[in-house]
Structure 1
Amino acid sequence: MTDRLPSLLGTQPAPEQWIVIATAVAALAVVLPRPIWRLSRNAITIAHEGGHGLTALVTGRRLQSIRLHSDTSGLTVSRGRPTGLGMILTAAAGYPAAPLLGLGGAALLGAHHVTLLLWVATALLLALLVMVRNAYGILTVLLTGGLFLLVSWLTGPDVQSVFAYAVVWFLLLGGVRPAFELQSQRRREGGGDSDADQLGRLTHVPPTLWLLFFHAVSLCCLIGGGRWLLGW
């Protein structure tokens, strides 16, 4: 591990522009087709529920459990006041989590910290694993974290770079779609117990405005992160 510290904290060469564009196309290919999205969306759910959990801890709530389900839904349970700023921030953190992670990843890649990005992602997944309380969720996080660990430990800089760019593009592009899915679901089924509806009840702000907030965050992250990745 000591031998790897220089590469972990140092910088790696940026890939050629065509590789950056190719990884964006590859990420788009696992976000747009519905059959593939049903599987790949599990990774977005991990980020979504992780966002709820991390915000709950930061705002002083007591995080009890995180569950990830095979239909790509999830549930984060925390204890604390049922109203107030902490509850509002916790409820609002889910949909922006994946785009913001993508934006942070794009910033690291823009600064050429490929290896650091992979190890930070692995550490976040391991921290999340501690709070997951169902078998499917544990399996999903273990497989995802194991993939990051294998790439970080066993592959060279070129493979790590391609993998890292593909992951960050996926978070940026995949982070846009859930808000549109929620919007379509609410149009078909009306109000329910979604994050936007919970926030509407907590803040007395219409759920539609919270949907616009989710859209704005994800699209701004995609534009900003994409510019960093493309070197613009």
Structure 2
Amino acid sequence: MSFVRDKLSSKFFFFLVFAFLLIHVPIIGNYVKIINTLIHESGHALIALFSGNVERISLFMNSEGATYSNQSTWIGSFFTSLAGYTFASFMAFLSFLLIGRKYHILLIDILLGFIFLNLIFWVRNPYGIFWLCSFAAVFLLLLIKGSKGLRDHLLIMIASIMLVDSVQSSYEIFYLSLVEPHAAGDAENLTQLTHMPAPIWGSFFFLQALWFCYYGLKRGYYKIQN
């Protein structure tokens, strides 16, 4: 039993380290990181629908994204600005939770749902459409042709990328909020809405990412072992 646990521990650690290294590889890293960008921008869009409308979402080759929406209320603008990083962190946590509980097909369905939702309603820029179609093709091929082992390992890899990048991107916004507040994206938007300094919102984004990371690893890791 100890040998099995050690093997699983090493495997789990390997996926996290490999995900961290992969997202820093030129070109390929930006491509795979867009899965986290997609979830981030979808979080903005889904909340924006409650008090306004979403014009479009753009996904860019450098792994960045943008959501263009119109809000009719202050509270709508506030929660829309708050949603991106928190939703991305939550989805990384949820991915590990579902993997730990052996709900691999459900996780694939959720990710496909986000892809097709964006492809049908929001994403219109050429690279964004290319990315959505290529990623959707991988998932569909996984469902139709992939072995259970390949499917499970690929999902752990994708969940690891989402988790690692959600923490890294939250740290980056935290750092920007300290050294260049006016370039701190969502933290700066929240500063304009609340008049609270950008570092407060940058700290919030980073701390919530760490919290979801800890519980995502805890739920996924221990359930995968048992």
The TM-score, its normalising length taken from structure 1, stands at 0.84
- 187, 196, 208: which one pairs with 1:217? 208
Task: Give the aligned partner of residue 35 of structure 2.
Answer: 43
Please show how residues 13-92 of structure 1 align to structure 2 within 5 Å: 16-31=8-23, 37-57=29-49, 59-81=50-72, 83-92=73-82
Q: Report the Cα distance in structure 2 between the residues aligned to 1:185 and 1:212, rounded to whole angstroms.
A: 11
User: Which deviates more from structure 2 when the two are superposed, residues 165-174 or residues 35-44?
Assistant: 35-44
Q: Is the contact between residue 175 and residue 202 of structure 2 (CA under 8 Å) also seen in structure 1? A: no
Task: Give the aligned partner of residue 171 of structure 1.
Answer: 162
Q: Structure 2: which 5+ runs fail to align? A: 1-6
| Number of residues of Structure 1 aligned to a counterpart in Structure 2 | 216
Q: Report the Cα distance in structure 2 between the residues aligned to 1:101 and 1:190, rounded to whole angstroms.
A: 27
- 78, 83, 93: which one pairs with 1:103? 93
Please show how residues 181-196 of structure 1 align to structure 2 within 5 Å: 181-192=172-183, 194-196=185-187
Counterpart check, 1:231 vs 2:225? no
Q: Is the contact between residue 91 and residue 195 of structure 1 (CA under 8 Å) also seen in structure 2? A: yes
Q: Structure 1: which 5+ runs fail to align? A: 1-14
Q: Which has the higher helix share?
A: 2
- Do the aligned partners of residues 22 and 152 (structure 1) sit closer, same or farther apart at CA in structure 2, a change above 3 Å counting? farther
CA RMSD of aligned residues (A): 2.2
- Identity over the aligned pairs, expressed in percent? 25
The TM-score, its normalising length taken from structure 2, stands at 0.86
What letter matches 2:53 in structure 1?
R
What letter matches 1:94 in structure 2?
G
Q: Report the Cα distance in structure 1 between the residues aligned to 2:174 and 2:200, rounded to whole angstroms.
A: 11
Q: Is the contact between residue 119 and residue 149 of structure 1 (CA under 8 Å) also seen in structure 2? A: no
Q: Report the Cα distance in structure 1 between the residues aligned to 2:176 and 2:194, rounded to whole angstroms.
A: 21
Please show how residues 122-133 of structure 1 align to structure 2 within 5 Å: 122-130=112-120, 131-133=122-124
User: What do residues 46-98 of structure 1 show as CA deviations (whole Å, max 9, x unaligned)?
Assistant: 121111111112x23211111112232222111232x4211111111112222
SS in 2 for 1:191: helix
Q: Is the contact between residue 20 and residue 230 of structure 1 (CA under 8 Å) also seen in structure 2? A: yes
What letter matches 1:149 in structure 2?
L
Moved over 6 A (4+): none
User: Which deviates more from structure 2 when the two are superposed, residues 177-186 or residues 132-141?
Assistant: 177-186
